[in-house]
Each structure stands twice: as structure tokens, then as C-alpha cells.
Amino acid sequence: MGMNQEQKDLRTGLNAHITLPDCVEERIQEAYQSIRKNQEASGRNEVVVVKKRNMNKWVVVAAAVVLTCTATFGVWAAVTGYFSKEVEEDKKAVTYKFEVNYELVPGEFEVEPSYLPSGYVKREGENMIWAKDNEGQKISVFSVYNTTDLERMNNEIILEGLKGAPNIEKTTLAGMEAHVIIYQEGEKYRWSNDIYLFNPQEGYIIDIIGDYNVPLDELKRFADGLKITRVSDAEFETEEQKAARIQEAEEWEREIQKIDQRMKEQSAVGIPKDEIVALGESAEAEWLLESGEYYRKEEFTITDVQYADSISDYDTRGFFDYSELEPWLNEDGTLKPYIRVHEDAENNIVAEEQVNQQFLVVKAKVKKCELNESNETDKQYSKDTPIGARLERLVEREDGNYTWATDFYEPLPNQENYLQIDNDAIYFDQPEFTEGEERYYFFYRTLDKGEELEYTLIFVVDEDLKDSLFLQFNAFPLKYIYNESKSIYFSLK
């Protein structure tokens, strides 16, 4: 079963790496969700756009909860419309700075296109996204900023590219000043193109995004044909709302500082070598309820590890998505090489190089040890057993213990190689859930108490990195920053 389009969009444009184990990312998400719940409870729905890293173009919109101050930019001429702007360009970024006219009432706007490229339709269930045949390359009106948005965004929009500041083509579209944003090496890195439409007379800025494979002329025609209608008035923040936003930003900053400190502590401690589960040995994954009773408990063992050049004798029905693997197979069943990007911990590109791939075949055994016996419904749920796993690259320290790698490897985006996405398995020899929506649980099995399952997982790995790989079963709780549960890593050699 292939990916749906949203999954493909995420894979090609929004994958971001982590520099330490998953606990860091999960704790960041916990902090964000906590602040987000407070926003929802207060009736605000402010957008937070975070800098996108690695192969994505970096787009920074300094917005809402991440800001604590209001900047001033020297002497401005009188604002005759809803806002005025200045543009600053250097080798790294393009920065738009705005001054807002608070005497004019801001508006809310609706956008409708009068021109769509051939085959484009409004994507089902999406607002302001038009895609070819409802699935392929797409155009979206990413945002319509009014003056209240500009205020919450600290009156600033910053555009950065991994390869330096984007190029700007200044023109007129839909009767407005238009800036066509073209990122360097866009096709290679599969970066989208942006068009900003500025209308200080009516009080809005429109950000239009076209996928890398949308012809630029068509994107311009789309922008030129937009019909914008003011549908209602909006209101600037009150002083109380602004104070609440600043307080939320400060809460976020405190959470980030806590995370930074804990990351440093974790990195210093690392992973003791005697906590690595040796090949052939077992470890138990425990999930406890607040009462102390088991929600579920499993025992995992890796029984064998082999690297293979070809797996042509394996049943294709065991692959989660064989269509992703097939383009990368030679006629003899071996894997084709691909171009890989190596980035350091600061997201600087260290190298782009062609590397060879291999299959990693892991034979494992799982035993269901405990179920949630509180009632029949919970008992049935606790039979669901995640048997999948992911690979983690660990670095051996001088003291013989391990820590997490802080540099990254990933395919050059135009390779469209998704075989190592999230370092997950691509094959499971005994899938139970294979049809329709159940396929999302492909790497699960239903196991009763005392039941055992011996099974095979297959991964794709880079030949030159395999000595640094360890395995983590998905059934184990992650090592969160603020509790005592641990990540458990299994040796593959």
C-alpha cells in the first residue's frame, strides 16, 4: 500500500532530524502542546511557524508565542496605508520589517483563484490548497497576514535558505507589488517557490507557495488571478492579550532552557555500555498504569543479525510499501547507490557523496508477559503489540560508553529515496493488519499473555555506517527528559 499524498508531502518537504534521542523531540512537543492548550483555553489561535531545518528551505516567521518584544527600526516615514515596509538583504537572509498604522481597522480576508493550471483542483478536505489531480504537485495560499498578524509577528518576516539568502524577483501581480522568492538550488533540494503579494492600501500580505515542480510561470498566473475580498473587521490585541502572549513566550523560553540543560546532562552521562542489550540477550518493555498495575509487558530478544546484498527471495507482501523499494533495486536484486548529504550538528553541509546501501536482516523474538486485566476491553487493547523497531546511530566514547550522534545523514531530496526514512523497518514477515486503514498498524501483532512470536524485520542501511547502528524496539518507552524510564538499545554485533 502506497503513502497518501500528505505522507508524501511530509517526507519530501518536512522531515526534520533530531540531534539527540527521541526524548528531546518529544519533550519539545510536550512543552509546545502545554503552551498550545493554554492558548486554546484563552480563545486565541495564533500561528507558530518554527524554522525548518536541513533539506527544507528555512522560512522563519517570527510569530506569536516565540516573541517577547516589539522592535523599533529607526526613523520611519509616515504610514499612509495600513502598513509600510522596508526590505533588508544580505548573504544569509531577506528580512521584511513593517510599521503598522493603528488608526485603520484591520480586516479579515477571503482568497479565491480565478486561474488554475490544467488538471489542478481544490484538494479534498483542505483549505486554500490546489493540487494536480487532487494529489500531485500543489499550490497553496499559505497565509493571508493582516496588520494584527504583523503585530503578533513582531512586525517582521525573515526568509533564509540553507544555501544562503533567496533571490527576489520584484514585479506586479494582481495589481499589487509582488516579490517572487526563488531559493538557491531549489530543484536539487526540492524547495518550493514563494510569492508574496503586498497590499498596504487594503491591509494584507499574501504568501503563495508552489511546489518545486510547479512551473514558475504557472505560479505567477495563479497569483495574478487571485480575487481577495474583505469579509469582516478584525481587532488589534488589547494590552492584556499582549501581556498574556508575552507571558506564554517566556514560559516557552523557560521550557527550552530546561530542555537545553537536560540535553547537556544527558549527553554528559551518555549510555553506559553495560546497559546495551547484547545479541541473544533479552530485555523487558514495561508500561505501567498510575495504579502500578501493568498496562502491558513484553520481552524482546534479537536472535540473529545478517547483512545481505539481495533479498529477492523474500515475499513482497511483507514489505510495508514495496513500491518505494522497487525503483532502487538492480536487476540482480541488489540496491542501487544514492547521493547522501552529511550535515554537522549546526546543520552545515559537510559533504554530498554517493554511497552504497545494504539490507539489514534482523531476526527477533517477542513474548507477551503481562496484560491489563482490569476489564475485558482494556485486556483486548493491551494484546496489541508493537513489534517494529528503528535504528539509532550511537558514538562510542573514550571511556567505552556511548552517546548519541549529533551529525546527520540523509538522502539528497531529489533522489526521492525514502528507504531509511525515520530509520524504520521496511519489511515484517508476519503482518496481521494489511488492509485499508488497518495497514497503519502493519508492524503490530495481537498477542495473548504467554504467547511468543519469532519474526523477521528488514532495514536498509548505508554500508559505511552499519558499525555504529543499534536497534531500539518501538515497544519500549522512550527516555523522557523529566522521568525515569529509559531507552533500551540492542547491539547488532
| pLDDT tens digits for range 460-478 | 999 999 999 999 998 876 5
Residues 202, 141 within the same domain? yes
Which parts of 314-447 fold into alpha helices (H)? 322-325, 376-381
Q: Of 493, 439, 447, nearest to 467 (Cα)?
A: 493
Residues 370, 287 contacting (CB under 8 angstroms): no
Q: How far apart are CA 264 and CA 266, in angstroms?
A: 5
Could you read off the pLDDT of 196-218 as tens digits, one per residue?
A: 999 999 999 999 999 988 999 99
Q: Which amino acid is at 344?
A: D
Say what the pLDDT of residue 50 is. Answer: 26
Segment 238-248 shows an average pLDDT of 93
Give the whole-angstrom CA distance, residue 255 versus residue 49: 18
The pLDDT assigned to 65 comes to 32
The band of 317, judged by pLDDT with boundaries at 50, 70 and 90, is very high
Q: What is the pLDDT of residue 48?
A: 29
- CA quadruple 33, 38, 44, 48: dihedral sign: negative
What's the confidence (pLDDT) of residue 385? Answer: 93
Q: Which of 2-11, 144-153, 184-193, 317-326 has the lowest mean pLDDT?
A: 2-11
The count of structural domains within the chain is 2
286 and 215 in a single domain? The answer is no
pLDDT of 318-336, one tens digit each?
999 999 999 999 999 999 9
In the prediction, which pLDDT does 14 show? 34
3-state SS class at 81: coil
- Judge whether residue 92 has pLDDT over 90: no
Q: What is the mean pLDDT of residues 95-100?
A: 96
Same domain membership, residue 198 and residue 124: yes
- The verdict on residue 42 lying in a domain is no
Non-local (6+) Cβ contacts of 284 within 8 A are 297, 298, 299, 300, 369
**Mean pLDDT (whole number) for 331-349:** 92
Average pLDDT over residues 165-188: 93
Please give the DSSP secondary-structure letter assigned to residue 382. T
pLDDT top residue among 50 and 238? 238
Give yes or no: residues 228 and 290 share one domain.
Answer: no
SS3 assignment, position 147: helix
Give the whole-angstrom CA distance, residue 181 versus residue 428: 44
157, 180 in Cβ contact below 8 A? no
Note whether residue 298 is domain-resident: yes
Take residue 205 and report the three cell numbers written for it.
500580505
Which set of grid coordinates corresponds to residue 480? 523522557
C-alpha cell at 229: 475580498
pLDDT number for residue 433: 95
The closest of 128, 125, 124, 123 to 112, measured between CA atoms, is: 128
Place of cell 530509520: 423
CA distance 226 to 175: 10
Give 486's pLDDT tier (boundaries 50, 70, 90): low
Question: 197 and 281: one domain?
Answer: no
Please indicate, yes or no, whether residues 231 and 289 belong to a single structural domain of this protein: no
Residues 85-112 have a mean pLDDT of 94
Work out the average pLDDT over 243-270: 87
Residue 300: per-residue pLDDT:
96
Residue 464 confidence (pLDDT)? 96
Nearest to 1 by CA among 300, 324, 267: 324
**Residue range of the domain that includes 339:** 273-473
Last residue of a domain, one of 236, 262, 286: 236
Strand partners, 83: 100
Structural domain includes residue 154: yes
pLDDT top residue among 346 and 434: 434
* pLDDT computed for residue 18 by the predictor: 30
For 241-270, what is the mean pLDDT?
Answer: 88
C-beta separation of 238 from 186 below 8 A = no
Q: Which has the minimum average pLDDT: 10-14, 115-119, 238-242, 399-403?
A: 10-14
pLDDT over 80 at 60, yes or no = no
Asked if the structure places residue 444 within a domain, the reply is yes
* pLDDT of 23 above 70: no
- Listed in order, strand segments (DSSP E) in 220-348 are 226-233, 282-288, 294-308, 338-343
Cα 250 to the center of its chain, rounded Å: 24
Distance of alpha carbon 28 from alpha carbon 18, whole angstroms: 11
Domain-embedded: residue 33: no
**Is 305 found in the same domain as 225?**
no
pLDDT, the chain, mean: 83
Q: Are residues 230 and 277 in the same domain?
A: no
- This prediction has a pTM of 0.75
Give yes or no: residues 65 and 189 share one domain.
yes
Among 213, 236, 259, residue at a domain's last position = 236
Q: Rounded to whole angstroms, how far apart are CA atoms 457 and 45?
A: 43
pLDDT digits (tens, 9 = 90+) for 438-462: 999 999 999 999 999 999 999 999 9
Lowest mean per-residue pLDDT among 25-39, 160-174, 290-304, 369-383: 25-39
β-pair type (294-308, 357-371): antiparallel
Does the pLDDT at position 44 exceed 80? no
Over residues 80-84, mean pLDDT? 93
Please give the Cα distance from 101 to 109 (Å, whole number).
18
User: Mean pLDDT: which of 32-36, 193-197, 418-422 is highest?
Assistant: 193-197
Of the listed ranges 236-240, 260-264, 409-413, the least confidently predicted one is 260-264
49, burial (CB in 10 Å: exposed 0-12, middle 13-18, buried 19+) = middle
Other CB atoms within 10 Å distance of the CB of residue 177? 15
Q: What's the mean pLDDT in 11-22?
A: 35
C-alpha to C-alpha distance for 465 and 314, rounded to whole angstroms: 24
204 and 309 together in one domain? no
Domain boundary among 236, 265, 293: 236
Return the axis-axis angle of helices 239-269 and 22-41, rounded to nearest 10°: 170
- The pLDDT of 108-129, averaged and rounded, is 93
Q: What is the percentage of the chain residues whose pLDDT exceeds 70?
A: 80
State whether 300 and 156 are in the same domain: no
pLDDT score, position 164:
82
Q: Does residue 134 form part of some domain?
A: yes
Strand order in the sheet with 389-396: 402-404, 389-396, 469-473
Confidence (pLDDT) at 7: 43
Q: Based on the domain organization, do 217 and 277 belong to the same domain?
A: no
Q: How far apart are CA 137 and CA 131, in angstroms?
A: 6
- According to the model, what pLDDT value does residue 315 have? 93
Cα separation of the two ends of the chain: 33
Residue 266 lies in a domain: no
| pLDDT given for residue 31 in this prediction | 44
pLDDT of residue 263: 77
Is the residue at 362 inside a domain?
A: yes
